Structure 1
């Protein structure tokens, strides 16, 4: 009787073990065969880039340094954009620190334009995020902006050296770099809004277009007062402005689009 009871309990335990193995096997098959819900990929965000954050922090430090050391010069020359003086005043600040502030602010303008080109390219060509390192793309756009500014500076010097007097040429170059300094002060908060506050890119583009058009209007006004103040010089001003302002700008836009296509196709 005792032996029969032991065999019965062993038989029941064995059957329970087999049943548990079957349940575990069925559970594993159901897990493997039933596909899980795929996660939705998070959209790319500019503020997630450590290179963008480091670059903007460095730009903030440079901007603070320039405003601290060249504040008098900057506000004096931004004010002069809306005025016209036949000759420079003896009280104008032309110290080395002021010239350094102009170089810093003009360089920061190129950096901000490069970051805006980066935002534009990622918005219009999302595949750029996956085909090449973002640091390389940002560096490429900043280099293009620097090259554009240097090319315009060289073309201004060459054309004005041929057709205009030295004093007129000096005032025009000063006006050009003053507009770059003014654009820097307007572009910095716009870039911060685009990167860290998720400002809609279309709204940001409208603000960017406003800044650019406002700068071109100021240059148009300065060019008219500096070079073509006579009424018969209006046609010459149109030719000068289109040749050295609008055509390079169109070439810049086409160049950015062409670079994006090359990067996407080759990488």
Structure 2
């Protein structure tokens, strides 16, 4: 008797399920609501939020940058030591000739590329934390590469503008010397930014502390740039006011322009709801 009742209940259950699927009760709001939330249809799970530390592409980039820094830094130790000594030394006209070989210049440009990657990752972290996490591009690594290319374009445009101005007003030797200093300081900026990026990605460093550290090294770089421009271009003439105008026109103005451009790029990348 119990088995017969159980069989009848199962038959009734299957019949009701067939009726629901065939739409016999489609006008009944209560049954439709029950059908939608039935366990047989399931529920969409909450998407897992993106975390950069679990992104294999970013991990490969950071690992490759670390290997390049270690290998190139080991083989080019004499280059960096010589350039750092010249960085705080008063230049002489007899030492204006280019001493770096083509391989050494390739090393320096590799460090510039690493700097752009580090700045691209840093910019991505700040944008996702302070502006938005929804972009028109689905792949986050593509956004990082795009931001890195923007930084590389900024450095190239600034150096091109400075080279044109320096060639017109100061000649070829001083222009090349100043460009070497710019490349060296940019390479050092990338090396000093790398530990901050690692702490941000893998050790949950707060963006406030990262911003303070980054602003400090950028200010130090700009002060050093101001000092080198005075040593190379204006020391012998004693034109300190001209050095201030030069620095504001070719360092501060491009930096402010780039900041405005980054705001426009961020607005173009994010999805406006």
TM-score normalised over the length of structure 1? 0.81
C-alpha spacing 1:14/1:118, structure 2 compared with 1 (3 Å): same
Match in the other structure for 1:3: none
Match in the other structure for 1:243: 249
Secondary structure of the residue that 1:176 maps to in structure 2?
A: helix
> Following the alignment from structure 1 to structure 2, what is the Cα–Cα distance between the partners of residues 123 and 19?
56
Higher helix share: 1
2:262 to 237, 256, 266: 256
What is the deviation of 1:72? Answer: 0.5
What is the deviation of 1:153? Answer: 1.3
TM-score normalised over the length of structure 2? 0.79
Equivalent residue runs for 1:9-158 within 5 Å: 10=1, 13-15=3-5, 32=38, 43-87=49-93, 89=95, 94-128=100-134, 131-158=137-164
> Following the alignment from structure 2 to structure 1, what is the Cα–Cα distance between the partners of residues 191 and 6?
78
1:216 to 222, 236, 239: 222
Secondary structure of the residue that 2:270 maps to in structure 1?
A: helix
What is the deviation of 1:76? Answer: 1.6
Match in the other structure for 2:28: none
Secondary structure of the residue that 2:204 maps to in structure 1?
A: coil
Deviation per CA, 1:41-60, whole angstroms, max 9, x where unpaired? 65432212222112112222
Alpha carbons 2:97, 2:173 under 8 Å: kept: no
Alpha carbons 2:112, 2:186 under 8 Å: kept: yes
Alpha carbons 1:160, 1:169 under 8 Å: kept: yes
Secondary structure of the residue that 1:227 maps to in structure 2?
A: helix
> Following the alignment from structure 1 to structure 2, what is the Cα–Cα distance between the partners of residues 162 and 16?
98
- Consecutive unaligned residues of structure 2, counting only runs of 5 or more, are 17-33
C-alpha spacing 1:146/1:88, structure 2 compared with 1 (3 Å): farther
- Consecutive unaligned residues of structure 1, counting only runs of 5 or more, are 1-9
Secondary structure of the residue that 2:239 maps to in structure 1?
A: helix
Alpha carbons 1:78, 1:182 under 8 Å: kept: no
TM-align CA RMSD: 3.2
> Following the alignment from structure 2 to structure 1, what is the Cα–Cα distance between the partners of residues 154 and 4?
83
1:195 to 179, 195, 201: 201
Deviation per CA, 1:78-107, whole angstroms, max 9, x where unpaired? 232222221465999523332222111122
- With 175-184 and 130-139 compared, the bigger mean Cα shift is at 130-139
